[in-house]
Amino acid sequence: MFGFGKKKDYTATILNTGESFEVKGGINLLQAAMNAGVKWPHECRVGSCGSCRATVKKGKIKALNDFAYVLDGAQLKSGMVLACQTRLQSDVEIEVDFEQGAIN
Ligand code: FES
């Protein structure tokens, strides 16, 4: 069967730096960024610290975990996600604050 069981590949573009990278095989956004050499802020990688947060400006994602454990209502409403708990469902355009630290 065509494409059965195979995850699609997408492209993520960081709007504030102009960097683009491939997100292949259904890996999470943070892992893909690190594989591409992007110095994306992160600490826990399990969705609890908030340091990998970024704002999705365009595109569709799937949350692997409930972001509301870490992000507040205003952040969620603005399109903020946790990159370590985000899988892409389309190409995306995102903004990343490279100076940010953990929330919790
Ligand atoms: S690295 Fe801690 S929430 Fe993503």
The CATH number assigned to the domain holding 60 equals 3.10.20.30
Residue 18 lies inside a defined structural domain of this protein: yes
* Domain around 55: 10-95
Q: Which ligand 1 atom sits closest to the C-alpha of 50?
A: 3
Whether ligand 1 lies within 6 angstroms of the CB of 47 is answered as yes
Structure tokens at 72: 């507040």
pLDDT digits (tens, 9 = 90+) for 10-57: 999 999 999 999 999 899 999 999 999 999 999 999 999 999 999 999
For residue 89, which phi and psi values (nearest 5 degrees)? -120, 5
Residue 104 lies inside a defined structural domain of this protein: no
Residue 16 lies inside a defined structural domain of this protein: yes
Ligand 1 center–CA 72 separation, angstroms: 15
How long, in residues, is the chain? 104
CA 101, CA 104: separation in Å to the nearest integer?
9
Q: How far, rounded to the nearest angstrom, does the alpha carbon of residue 9 sit from its chain's CA centroid?
A: 14
CA 90, CA 103: separation in Å to the nearest integer?
27
| Number of compact structural domains in the chain | 1
In the predicted model, is pLDDT for residue 73 greater than 80? yes
